[in-house]
Structure 1
Amino acid sequence: MDETGLTSLLPHLPVSWFADLAPAAAFIRDADGRYLWANHAYAHLYGTTRARVIGRYVHDIDAPADAEQVLALDQEVLERGKPVRHTLTYHRADGTSGHAAGHRFPVREGTRMCVAGIYIDISDYTRALQQRREAEESLCALRDHSGLPCAQISAGGRILQASAAAAELLGTRLSDLVGRRADTLLAPAPELLALRRGWHALIGRRSRRIQTSAVLVDARGRQRRARLHLTTVGRSAERATSVWALVTHQSLAHEVYPPLTAAQVRILALLAAGRSNAEIAASLHLSRQTVDYHLSRLRDLLDAPTRCALVARAYVLGILAPQTWPPRSATAGHPHSAT
């Protein structure tokens, strides 16, 4: 039907036809709480039909406690003579409860003042809000009591929220951490470029989650290597709204050392594998004296007095990967390495 046809039809349709079929629940009651009229949507709230509502009283429809509240609101409207907006809880015949929001207002039916109401059922909305609150409470409990350093980072790169463990890891107060740009907590490292590419892939929805490594800088300027697990948040089709970052496999916090050469990193890996100085020299095609010099230099750089201490320091500082054998550099280009 075109607009002209619909316009010509409207004057011939009774107003009650629209009210009866309106999706909003509506009713009219007299001062004694007797239903003079109700539409289908109102009856549906209670899981019944209009015929079983019209002509009956509030106490016939609602539980005693609910009926008293309903009648009290009716009296308030009649006494004030003005509309009242509120949200109420109602109970269905099967024992389940629902929530509705709307207005109640005075109307005149012949010589009597009555109460009319129009409501929208917000049960699903209320339930969704409750589920969201419970999910947020569960997330906060997990964040605060898991002991894991983690943070939610906005698509623009700012920390939205973080765990107390994250603040402790970075040697700062939680209030100072929230709102800070996340990239200010990262030290220059060879894998930083790959981390940025991965970040853009996450925000652009090309990846759902990534794992990578980075070097974190705490409030004292000390560095530590850590494994990062990044997961997107939000269901937008084009961009992720934020990213959760979880820190695992932390190395020992340490002062910044002079960069290690590629040869020094390879020597540390062979040393951790149990190779002797002669075997290291042969493997790397170096002289025995050169290997001795590098080991002496490494003990000074890493503050390790013995070979065993040197290997241990290489692991706790994150120079060597803790979960691989044979030993190797923690990254293709360690921040202490020239490669």
Structure 2
Amino acid sequence: MDSRTPDVIQHHAEHRARTHAAEPGTPAAVSRGYAAFADLVDLAPAAAFIRDRHGRYLWANHAYAHLYGTVPRQLVGKYIEDFDTPAEADRFRALDQQILARGMPVRHTLRYRRPDGSTGRAFGHRFPVREYARTCIAGIYVDITDHLRATAQRQEAEESLSALRDHSGLPCALLSANGRVIEASAAAAELLQIGLPDLLGRRAQTLLAPGPASDLDLLHRRWNSLIARRTRRVETTTLLIDSRGLQCRAEVHLTTIGHSAGRARHVWAVVTRQSLAHEAHPPLTAAQIRILSLLAQGSSNSDIATSLRLSRQTLDYHLSRLRQLLGAGTRPALVARAYVLGILAPQAWPPRSATAPHPLSPA
């Protein structure tokens, strides 16, 4: 309530303090008739008023007067036309007459001009009330302008997300807090080689390829941190497995939706980069990944052996083993396969592991 609130309270206190000998129909008598109603809703957030059958305001609370940028005592005794346009006043008068004729409440949406010049909307009821043997019209409204605006903004955001999901070409999915797929893009279904209807309702963990327990534990901890709202965004890499059993390394961005303080209900998962699908191969050691990154950098065997403090025989063994694991017969083929299979990060220089926790980490 702003600084005008005491004036409203004082206004009704003065009315109630007037003599009980006032004639029925005078402002003092009318004021006594609805004093209990005024006490109930005068300071309520809902906007309320009472008018007589001629469109003259007998009483209004602060919230209703605020709709017109004024205070209650400036409304009382005035007519509808003093505050509304002629067209609106005619419409309100017709509605009042309908209520008086039917003797029944009517639901109504009130449009009004806000102090900032924008159009506001309030929803409520108008209904007949008896005051000293005459029927008057009362109304009570709740301002829904901010609610409608928030709803429109939410709908616009949902449409934007739908456009991202359906037209960006990015594999993405909306996940519930327990990791179940609620929505998904056609690109996500194509990546996983699963029909879109079959993808919906799947548990996300069934789409992850078996891997080191430490990697899955890290992903699980990050997911729990998101759901508990200790963080809002997570960027991570993971191995996905499609319906054919082929794997691909994917970079995934996870973002919670909403700003509530409690647990997150939904998470958007967006795949921004992924390797080509391939058959599973044994996990590589940190030394083998470091060798691949140095090969991609153009280092010679001698330089690699010196950098990693390996003998030439040990390095030759690692290279032979890598050629077997990756199905590559030459050094250039080893580098190409390392990028295609998502072992090396495609947008990093110097070359580094795609799963390195830090951009400068070699492996």
After superposition, where does 1:1-339 map in structure 2 within 5 Å? 14-15=35-36, 17-18=38-39, 21-23=42-44, 24-92=46-114, 95-190=117-212, 191-257=215-281, 265=289, 267-275=291-299, 284-285=310-311, 287=313, 290=317, 293-294=320-321, 297-298=324-325, 301-302=326-327, 304=328, 306-331=330-355
CA contact (8 A) 1:36 1:55 kept: yes
The answer for unaligned runs of 5 or more in structure 1 is 1-10, 334-338
Taking structure 1 as the reference length, the TM-score comes to: 0.78
**Matched AA of 1:285:** S
| Cα 1:64/1:305, change in 2 over 3 Å | farther
| Cα 1:88/1:175, change in 2 over 3 Å | farther
1:167, distance to aligned residue in structure 2 (A) = 2.8
What is the distance in 1 between the residues matched to 2:152 and 2:110? 16
| Cα 1:45/1:252, change in 2 over 3 Å | same
Post-superposition Cα deviations, 1:153-172, rounded to whole Å, max 9, x if no partner, equal 22211223333333332233
What is the distance in 2 between the residues matched to 1:292 and 1:25? 80
CA contact (8 A) 1:85 1:104 kept: yes
What is the distance in 2 between the residues matched to 1:104 and 1:151? 47
Post-superposition Cα deviations, 1:46-85, rounded to whole Å, max 9, x if no partner, equal 1123343333332332123322332332233223221123
CA contact (8 A) 1:21 1:39 kept: yes
CA contact (8 A) 1:154 1:242 kept: yes
Query: Secondary structure of 2:344's match?
Result: coil
Which has the higher mean CA deviation after the structures are superposed, 324-333 or 181-190? 324-333
CA contact (8 A) 1:159 1:181 kept: yes
What is the distance in 2 between the residues matched to 1:289 and 1:28? 95
1:268, distance to aligned residue in structure 2 (A) = 3.7
What is the distance in 2 between the residues matched to 1:133 and 1:210? 25
Query: Secondary structure of 2:70's match?
Result: coil
**Matched AA of 1:147:** G
Which has the higher mean CA deviation after the structures are superposed, 323-332 or 125-134? 323-332
| Cα 1:260/1:51, change in 2 over 3 Å | closer
Which has the higher mean CA deviation after the structures are superposed, 252-261 or 239-248? 252-261
What is the distance in 1 between the residues matched to 2:349 and 2:140? 72
1:251, distance to aligned residue in structure 2 (A) = 0.8
Query: Secondary structure of 2:274's match?
Result: coil
Taking structure 2 as the reference length, the TM-score comes to: 0.74
What is the distance in 2 between the residues matched to 1:279 and 1:172? 46
Which has the higher mean CA deviation after the structures are superposed, 54-63 or 280-289? 280-289
What is the distance in 1 between the residues matched to 2:202 and 2:330? 41
The answer for unaligned runs of 5 or more in structure 2 is 1-15, 18-31, 358-362
CA contact (8 A) 1:152 1:245 kept: yes
| Cα 1:85/1:35, change in 2 over 3 Å | same
1:100, distance to aligned residue in structure 2 (A) = 1.5
What is the distance in 2 between the residues matched to 1:332 and 1:56? 74
| Cα 1:115/1:320, change in 2 over 3 Å | same
What is the distance in 1 between the residues matched to 2:317 and 2:40? 94
Which has the higher mean CA deviation after the structures are superposed, 171-180 or 265-274? 265-274
Query: Secondary structure of 1:249's match?
Result: strand
What is the distance in 2 between the residues matched to 1:174 and 1:249? 20
Which has the higher mean CA deviation after the structures are superposed, 175-184 or 48-57? 48-57
Query: Secondary structure of 1:126's match?
Result: helix
What is the distance in 2 between the residues matched to 1:36 and 1:305? 95
Q: How many residues align?
A: 321
Post-superposition Cα deviations, 1:65-124, rounded to whole Å, max 9, x if no partner, equal 322332332233223221123333223576432222222111234454332212222333
What is the distance in 2 between the residues matched to 1:292 and 1:38? 87
**Matched AA of 1:199:** W
Query: Secondary structure of 1:196's match?
Result: helix
| Cα 1:279/1:254, change in 2 over 3 Å | same
Query: Secondary structure of 1:47's match?
Result: coil
Query: Secondary structure of 2:107's match?
Result: strand
Give the fraction of aligned pairs with identical amino acids, expressed as a percent.
Answer: 62
**Matched AA of 2:217:** L
| Cα 1:22/1:315, change in 2 over 3 Å | same
What is the distance in 1 between the residues matched to 2:38 and 2:139? 17
| Cα 1:198/1:37, change in 2 over 3 Å | closer
CA contact (8 A) 1:251 1:316 kept: yes
